[in-house]
Amino acid sequence: DIQMTQSPSSLSASVGDRVTITCRASQNIGTSLNWYQQRPGRAPSLLIHGTFSLQSGVPSRFSGSGSGTDFTLTISSLQPEDFATYYCQQSYSTPAWTFGQGTKVEIK
Amino acid sequence: EVQLLESGGGLGQPGGSLRLSCAATGFTLNNFAMSWVRQAPGKGLEWVSFISGTGGITYYAGPVKGRFTISRDTSKNTLYLQMNSLRAGDTALYYCAKDRFSSAAAAGSFDSWGQGTLVVVSS
């Protein structure tokens, strides 16, 4: 299976900060990379699919980049509702889809 | 509006069985692939099983292959997960998740999720 490794595992940031989360795949996955947000006690929700494409209804402060093995999720100006855990997931290796271990974004 | 409502979780005995259900509204299962994804307490997400929009293709993660069976009833627009030979490692919150696409070839991104149903395997 393709291993997905996120860094950092957690971070502390303030409202208004620019936040970057990195995801690395154990092999080339092209741009078949998705990002999810999970708020405490809630189900995950899709933020970005295909590395770059913002899911409908997701604020434009979220953006994704990368290709091959290295990917980035950026939040341009952190808002109070963005404090959550973020997961990357590869959809390249059907059907063995795998998630990163998560990055928890906490209030500084 | 798409809604997914899971049910059927609870306490299962090691070696026992449980059947999870996921009632879908706002869309038709015939038009979209579906997956089950689980999350052990305090842990990350793990994909478990997939069924294509036609229902003709199913996939399973290694740890559950041969023990779990995914199915659906299109007349009820409901997805199921039959869980047999339960193990302690199956303890998790089980989410059903709608795929963005119908076909297996394009599948693997999940745009709607239910709130989950908790399965605890313990004697």
Distance from CA of B106 to the nearest CA of A (A): 9
pLDDT of residue A61: 98
Closest partner residue to A46 (CB to CB) among B59, B105, B111 is: B111
pLDDT of residue A95: 84
pLDDT band at B1 (very low <50, low <70, confident <90, very high): very high
pLDDT of residue B20: 98
Q: Indicate whether B119 pLDDT > 90.
A: yes
User: Is B114 in Cβ contact with A99 (below 8 Å)?
Assistant: no
Helices (H) and strands (E) in chain A, counts: 0, 11
Question: Rounded to 5 degrees, what are φ and ψ at A45?
Answer: -135, 145
pLDDT of residue B96: 98
Best mutation target, A21, A51, A53, A91, to test chain B (most B CBs within 10 A): A91
Q: What is the pLDDT of residues B22-37, one digit of tens each?
A: 999 999 999 999 999 9
Q: What is the mean pLDDT of residues A40-66?
A: 97
Question: Rounded to 5 degrees, what are φ and ψ at B51?
Answer: -135, 135
